[in-house]
Structures are given as C-alpha cells and as structure tokens.
Amino acid sequence: MKRLLLAVAVSAAVLAGCTGRSTGTNEAAAAPPVATTGGSAKGDFGPPQGEPVHAVLTSPPEVPPPTNRNHPAKVIVELEVIEKEMPISEGVTYTFWTFGGTVPGSFIRVRQGDTVEFHLKNSPDSKMPHNIDLHGVTGPGGGAASSFTAPGHESQFTFKALNQGIYVYHCATAPVGMHVANGMYGLILVEPPEGLPKVDHEYYVMQGDFYTTGKYREKGHQPFDMEKAIDESPTYVLFNGHEGALTGDKALAAKTNETVRLFVGNGGPNLVSSFHVIGEIFDRVQQEGGTHPQENVQTTLIPAGGAAIVEFHTEVPGSYVMVDHSIFRAFNKGALAILKVDGPENKAIYSGKEVDSVYLGDRSEPNLKPVAAAAKAAASGALTKEDQIKAGQVLFTGTCSVCHQANGEGLANVFPPLAKSSLLAAEPKRIVEIMLHGLSGKVTVNGTEYNSVMPPMTQLTDDEVANIATYVLNSWGNPGGQVTKEDAAKVRATPPAAAPAEH
C-alpha cells in the first residue's frame, strides 16, 4: 500500500515537471516513470534499534515469515555447514556439502538496513574447511575471507544489508567450483523497508547442476566427477538438490484464485536456467533479483549465482510443471518440479483434459521406489524376476509409453504394438538390441507394416534395459523370459547389425 502511494506521488511529481515537453499523442498510455531506490547509498537507516533478533532459518521449499519490522535491527544468523550423504535420485546417493543440512541451504530473511551478525559453524564431522560469500554483502569477498572456518570451528562477521533484493550465497573455498557443485549455496532475502506485498504462498526453489562419475540414475553411491564439471557436462540438473524433491507428494501446493511468489535461485556452478512454468504466465518477475518488475513473462533467465522473484495468480486447477526450458535438462537430467493447484474447474479459462502422464512419464509417479528396490536386490545378489518386472513397469512408463502407450497397444500405423507382438514372439531377446540400437526401416508386427524410426535408448543403464525388457516380455501376452544386465551390457558393446537391404 505504502509503495503504491509512493509510486503515485512520484509519477504525479514527474508528470507535473513534464508539462512543457511534447509527450506525443498517447499521453494517457505512457508508462509511469519508475522511482529509484537510491541503492546502497540510501540503504543505511542508522544503527540497529531494540533487542537483537535471531533470524528464522527455513529448509527448502519453505520461506521464513516476513520480518514485519519498520526499523533496522541487529539480526543474528547461525548457520552450520554439514557434509552428508543424501539421495540425489531414487537409489542413488551423493555426498553433499550443505549450509544447514539441505540443498539449497537454509533460507535467510532480513530487512534492508539490518545489521547482520553472521555466525558460520563448520560441523566437527566435516572433512573440509568452508566459508560463505553472500551476494547481499557490501565488502570484499562478500564475507568469504572473514568466514573461513575449519571443521569443528565457528567464525563471526557483521555486515549491514544496504541493498534490498534476493541474493545467492555460496561457499567460496578452493576449489570453489567443487564446493558449489556439492550443493553449497542458498538464498538470502533483503526485504525492502516497507516489506513485500502480501501473497498466499511463498516458496523457495533453487536450481543446481551436479556431476557424478556414473550415468544419470546409475544406482549406488556416486562420487563427484571433476572432469565432467570442468567440461560443464552435468549428469543431473535439479531443483532443490535431488530428483523428485518437488514432485509427487512433495509437490508445491496452492489453490485456485491464490497468489504464489517463488524465490528462484540458481546455484550453478555452471549452467544458467531458463526458468519456466508450463501452463502459467508470470504476472510479475523481479529479473535478476532486481527491484523493478517486468510483467507478463513466459520464461525468465536466471544466471548462475543469480536469483529472481516470480509471482503469478492461479486460475485453473491442475499440475503445473516447472522446468529449465533447456528441455533435455528437464526430461533427461531431472530439472523438473510441480506446483499442484487444487480447486474447482474453470472451463471459461481452460477447457480441461490433462496430459500430465505423457508430459511427465515416470515423474508423475509418486516415486521410483520399485526401481530402487530392484537396484538394492541386485546389489545383494537377490534380484528376482518379480523385482525386475515391477521396476520395469515404472521405467516403461517414463521411457517407452509415450510412443507404445501404457497398455502396450501402440498407435495405429505410427507406433507398433508391444502387446502380443509377433516380432517378440519370434525373437524375444531382440528387444534388447532394439532398445539399445534403435530400429528403422520396414518392420511387420501383427500383420501390419510400419516404416518409421525408433531412436536408440542408450541413456538407459544396463539395469534399466534389463528391467524394462523383462517387464515387456512378461506383459500383455508376450512369451515371458528374463533379461539380465549382463545381456544388456553385451548388446551395448556389440555394434548394431547392418540394416537389412531394402528390396
């Protein structure tokens, strides 16, 4: 409210000063001039007042409540660095280095003009020293040099938050890229003095790219791969540190007719994010975390080491998929989250018919648990055909059902059926070759000729190929049988047979 009055007053003043100039024909439609904040030179509101307050820190996707203060205070922030093993995907673990035990790290919220007394602790269980560079700090290194902290130690430094905005913080200990790649980043919000306009939901989402020695979704514990990191060739691109952090029953929630504010950061270390919510238009974006919003935006670019505030109003119920619109990252590296909007249909705005399953594949499933269970069983040498079939079903939904359909019936004249397939009846094990080397040219299935292209599915691991193949062979009236990961490895290592000559 206060901000609105201010804007009106300023525009009135500026318009009054403009009367002598020609303003063109469409005077009424001219954009109102924008008031500047004055930056850091106008951000010191004097010494802290009242008792010191302890900052409320939250884990993603939660955001601390507004400071609700109209004066500068001394704010004490206590943040602990914890190195810990956590899942990065179902059945895949990674040793993350964290601010506060989560990736991204705890969300910090202060008010412009606050004096922040920062305590950085490094857990005694840590193996590495760490520090923190907050992009909201005015001073060399953003706090890095003052906060270098060995395991089992604590550092303290104080800064005044002179600029309002949303800022990334990250570890800046050498090798910096490795500390960031391991998850050492988060967001600090410096509220404008009048606070942010009230909304129904505030959420904390942060993208990061991850580099593991194993392939995407390769099971087990995966170490950091420095070479991939230097090549900027991530294995995973994720929102909030692990695949599925914000899908299924962990999806963000809202109701229709509500306002949603997302604080979206990008920790990098390498990639920039083309942040997009499928089926929503951002009513308002503070690009790069800056003060003056852009309106009616489809996709906003978030630099590595940058952030944005994104706001929209919900009208139509359904699942809204957040992606990095560099789209292979979304569907093949994990950069996918969901905002679930509940409420009555609004047919005047959108007619309905949801296409989630095709869009999301296995990501629309609550989880990939059967896949992880199969991986665990395989590791202990107790993998059964049943385990493989269950895991294969989930994976099939994510990879094959888009074309061959969930019921294996295919699409007439376009995608051949896998159900009661005459090709599989004749040569069951050929499925492995088709999955790994693809299939093109004329092929007859159940009496119908197809002449199309199936791309090779080499992104699948040997385990995944084995599980999907076993599932297909044991479903829909196919001949049965079992494919092992050794079978898959052998086919992968063999160059594809030359395509049969066309007659």
- List the binding residues: 130, 135, 170-171, 179, 184, 325
Give dist(CA 65, CA 214) in Å, integer.
40
* Of 271 and 436, CB closest to ligand HEC: 436
**440 binds ligand HEC, rule: CB under 6 A:** yes
Sheet holding 108-111, edge to edge: 108-111, 185-191, 165-170, 133-134
CA-based R_g, the chain, Å: 27
Binding partner of residue 179 among ligand HEC, Cu ion, none, CB cut-off 5 to 8 Å per kind: Cu ion
**216 binds ligand HEC, rule: CB under 6 A:** no
Give dist(CA 337, CA 360) in Å, integer.
10
**DSSP conformation class of 361:** G
Structure tokens belonging to residue 315: 């009208």
Q: How far is the CB of 327 from ligand HEC (least distance, A)?
A: 15
Q: How far is the CB of 441 from ligand HEC (least distance, A)?
A: 5
Binding partner of residue 265 among Cu ion, ligand HEC, none, CB cut-off 5 to 8 Å per kind: none
Cis omega (within 30 of 0) on the bond before 269? yes
* Of 375 and 400, CB closest to ligand HEC: 400
Of the candidate residues 44, 443, 459, 489, the single one contacting ligand HEC (CB under 6 A): 443
Q: Please, are residues 171 and 130 in contact by the beta-carbon 8 Å criterion?
A: yes
Binding partner of residue 130 among ligand HEC, Cu ion, none, CB cut-off 5 to 8 Å per kind: Cu ion
**456 binds ligand HEC, rule: CB under 6 A:** no
* Of 168 and 468, CB closest to ligand HEC: 468
**450 binds ligand HEC, rule: CB under 6 A:** yes
**421 binds ligand HEC, rule: CB under 6 A:** yes
Say whether 441 sits in a helix, a strand or coil. strand
Burial (0-12, 13-18, 19+ Cβ within 10 Å), 86: middle
Binding partner of residue 253 among ligand HEC, Cu ion, none, CB cut-off 5 to 8 Å per kind: none
* CA quadruple 339, 342, 344, 349: dihedral, nearest 10: -10
> Which amino acids are annotated as binding site for Cu cation, given as ranges?
130, 135, 170-171, 179, 184, 325
Angle between helices 485-493 and 430-437 (to 10 degrees): 50
What is the binding site for Cu ion (CB under 5 A)?
Answer: 130, 171, 173, 179, 184
* Of 61 and 416, CB closest to ligand HEC: 416
Q: How far is the CB of 181 from Cu ion (least distance, A)?
A: 10
Say whether 88 sits in a helix, a strand or coil. strand
Give dist(CA 162, CA 137) in Å, integer.
8
Binding partner of residue 441 among Cu ion, ligand HEC, none, CB cut-off 5 to 8 Å per kind: ligand HEC
**409 binds ligand HEC, rule: CB under 6 A:** no
Please write down the HEC assignment for all residues of 279-336: CCCEEEEEHHHCCCCEEEECEEEECCCEEEEEEEECCCCEEEEEEECCCHHHHHCCCE
* Of 156 and 459, CB closest to Cu ion: 156
Q: How far is the CB of 159 from ligand HEC (least distance, A)?
A: 52
Binding partner of residue 184 among Cu ion, ligand HEC, none, CB cut-off 5 to 8 Å per kind: Cu ion
* Of 131 and 470, CB closest to Cu ion: 131
Cα angle 101, 144, 195 (rounded to 5 degrees) comes to 70
Region 367-406 residues binding ligand HEC, contact defined as CB under 6 A: 399-400, 402-404
Say whether 195 sits in a helix, a strand or coil. coil
Of the candidate residues 254, 316, 454, 466, the single one contacting ligand HEC (CB under 6 A): 454
* CA quadruple 109, 110, 111, 112: dihedral, nearest 10: -110
Of the candidate residues 104, 417, 461, 466, the single one contacting ligand HEC (CB under 6 A): 417
Binding partner of residue 454 among Cu ion, ligand HEC, none, CB cut-off 5 to 8 Å per kind: ligand HEC
Q: Give residues with Cβ within 8 angstroms of 4, minimum separation 6.
A: none
Q: Which stretch binds ligand HEC (CB under 6 A): 136-144, 229-237, 291-299, 423-431?
A: 423-431
Residue with tokens 């000729």: 449
Structure tokens belonging to residue 53: 């307050």
* CA quadruple 141, 145, 147, 153: dihedral, nearest 10: 160
Q: How far is the CB of 105 from Cu ion (least distance, A)?
A: 11
Give dist(CA 149, CA 184) in Å, integer.
14
Q: Please, are residues 234 and 209 in contact by the beta-carbon 8 Å criterion?
A: yes
Cβ-closest position to ligand HEC: 400
Give dist(CA 216, CA 400) in Å, integer.
17
* Of 268 and 392, CB closest to Cu ion: 268
Q: Please, are residues 22 and 47 in contact by the beta-carbon 8 Å criterion?
A: no
Q: Site for ligand HEC (CB under 6 A): how many residues?
A: 28
* Of 72 and 268, CB closest to Cu ion: 268
Binding partner of residue 360 among Cu ion, ligand HEC, none, CB cut-off 5 to 8 Å per kind: none
Residue with tokens 């942060």: 206
Of the candidate residues 73, 171, 285, 439, the single one contacting ligand HEC (CB under 6 A): 439
* Of 193 and 438, CB closest to ligand HEC: 438
Task: Give the residues across from 294 on adjacent strands.
Answer: 285
Binding site for ligand HEC (CB under 6 A): 399-400, 402-404, 415-418, 421, 423-424, 431, 434-435, 439-441, 443, 445, 450-454, 457, 468, 472
